[in-house]
A and B are shown apart, each in its own frame.
Chain A
Amino acid sequence: MLNFILLIFIYIGIYAIAAMGLNLIVGYTGLLSLCQAGFLAIGAYTTAVLMTTFHMGFWESMIISGFIASLFGILIGIPTLRLKGDYLAIATLGFGEIVRNVILNWDSVTKGPMGINGIPGPSIFGTTLSSMDKPAWIVIIWIFVAATYYFIRRIIRSRVGRALEAIREDEIAASSMGINTAKYKIGAFTTGAFLAGIAGSLFAAFNQSVAPLTFDFMMSIMILCMAVLGGLGNSFATIVGAVIIVLASELPRLMGISHIIPPQLNQILFGLILVLMMIYRPQGIIGRIKLNYAKIVKEEISDLEK
């Protein structure tokens, strides 16, 4: 039982990283993206291939995975960020499906539907972790959760965050204030993709295997649910959203009644959560935190010489 709870919190951590990345795109910048699972898949498979075929270590593979995912973030970002609202969402949805299909059919590299097995665990302090070392994994993954939280906080509290907020409020006004909106939008998209790539890499190394069916559209929706449920534009709320969503989807197994609950129930559950939230609490459980940039800047510059 303890083992199972540890397992759940490992997954919560991995999803929280990807969901905070998505929150940067959707919550802070106001772009609806439905392909976070695609970036996770790219991260997971990059790590899988680098570690099995090229016998690279985990930590190098993870960094490379993050960058490859963000590279795809740029590639999809440039043509699609001209699109607005619904059109952008549909384009990202298509991208996620393309990624999944490429992985499914590029047998020579991805081993197709079989997936890649036998991914070694990361080595740390001279020992190699396996999926069994759950306490160590919990620590590693939640360090990444904390780092992601801090990283996003740093971005949001800076002038970059101010620009993202302005773009979300009114993109046309922002561009006529001299803000290069395309640059910031692609930046947010790429950073979100990078974080999903890192999450995917952790996912692959923890499970020591990857399979294409994992990274389906439902996963993108689940990650979106986490960000929406907690409250868009609030990284802490996103973590809370990840806790709730993963717990809710594992509840049948936790209560030992998984054999009588069909697995499709999850999908119904996510759909229901999205619908109910949109009707009754569109701002999410916790809601957005509005920063006061004038105060932040005043504090920040208080130690500068006159």
Chain B
Amino acid sequence: MPLLYTQNLRREFGGVIAVADVDIEIFKDSITGLIGPNGAGKTTLFNTITGLDFPTSGHVFFKGEDITELPAYKITRSGIARTFQNIRLFKDMTVFENVMIGRHFRGNNPKIVKNKFLNFILGRIYVKKEEKDIYENSIKWLNFFNLLDMRDEYAKNLPYGKQRELEIARALATEPEILFLDEPAAGMNPQETDSLMKTIKRIRDLGITVVLIEHDMKLVMNICDKIIVLNYGKKIAEGTPSQVQNNKDVIEAYLGKTDD
């Protein structure tokens, strides 16, 4: 069974059908690419899956459970994390704090998170252990992205490429089983994109399933096991990179119809 799948997922905005009855399947430990022309509905599909937007109809299943109606924070807690097409860091918080917020709701031990209020008033020992867990895990993720020496910088002061990496670090700090990246290479130079490709593979090797939206075809074709193509909200193709590259509908969607 797929780790995550959608059933007839649909999202309409007034007359615009942004996502039109889409079924996708995401398998564990894979890297899946989601591509399509501008306005195809890729971001909307991400939003409806991650709870920031609700579908007009249809369902999302994660680990066999229907998560369609869950609010965003519960979806994140169930093991789904994401980044945003227009970076949404906590700009006036430090690099370190951004990652700490990612870790915010997780203590390493269920006992630790229990009785938070009492701990806050009384002993503080469990609160301290929880904070320690947050602190150490944040360092771990900052290290993963070589961001540790920038830990006290405000997020808004980082170069663009580093901001994208920080956003991924923050998402990973929630300890997801599946990570949704919305155009992670946008605005990156070729070297940064290369390093991002390696990073995404490293993330997959940690046992985290990755789904990414990307316009950079080199990146998509290189690292994705499977590609799903959207156009006008509809899924028009899916398959391996080479299958999709040679698909007539996909070529048409990207280059325009050439009937002669």
Interface residues of A (CB under 8 A from B): 158-160, 162-163, 165-166, 169-170, 172-181, 290, 292-294, 297-298, 300-301, 304
Contacts and interface: CB of A to CB of B under 8 A. Distances in A.
A125 B96 CA distance: 50
Nearest to A291: B97
Contacts of A293: 94, 96-97, 100
Contacts of B50: 176
Q: What does DSSP make chain A's interface, helix, strand, loop or mixed? A: helix
Given A301-B128, A301-B135, A178 B88 contact: no
Given A165-B93, A170-B90, A294-B151, A181 B131 contact: no
B174 A178 contact: yes
Interface in B84-128: 84, 88-94, 96-97, 100-102, 104-106, 120, 127-128
Given A159-B134, A177-B73, 11 more contacts: A158-B120, A160-B120, A162-B100, A170-B91, A172-B72, A177-B170, A178-B106, A179-B101, A292-B94, A294-B96, A301-B135
29 contacts: A158-B127, A159-B131, A160-B120, A165-B93, A169-B91, A172-B72, A173-B88, A175-B52, A175-B72, A175-B73, A176-B51, A176-B73, A176-B81, A177-B73, A177-B101, A177-B174, A178-B73, A178-B76, A290-B92, A292-B152, A293-B96, A294-B94, A297-B100, A297-B132, A297-B134, A298-B135, A300-B128, A301-B131, A304-B129
A290 B90 CA distance: 13
A294 B98 CA distance: 10
Contacts of A301: 128, 131-132, 135
Given A158-B120, A173-B88, A300-B131, A181 B73 contact: yes
Contacts of B42: none
Interface string B129-161: 111101100100000000000011000000000
B90 A297 contact: no
A293 B50 CA distance: 28
Contacts of B51: 176
Interface residues of B, number: 40
Contact of B104 (A169, A172, A178, A298): A178
B100 A172 contact: no
Specify which of A290, A293, A294 lies most central, judged by the most chain B CB atoms within 10 Å of its CB: A294
Nearest to A158: B120
Contacts of A179: 73, 101, 104-105
B198 interface: no
Contacts of A294: 94, 96-97, 100, 135, 138, 151-152
A49 B132 CA distance: 48
A154 to B, nearest CB: 8
A158 B100 CA distance: 12
A165 B102 CA distance: 13
Interface in B41-56: 50-52
B64 interface: no
B82 interface: yes
A48 B101 CA distance: 43
A290 B135 CA distance: 19
Contacts of B81: 176
Contacts of B132: 297, 301, 304
Contacts of B101: 162-163, 166, 174, 177, 179
Contact of A176 (B52, B93, B138, B151): B52
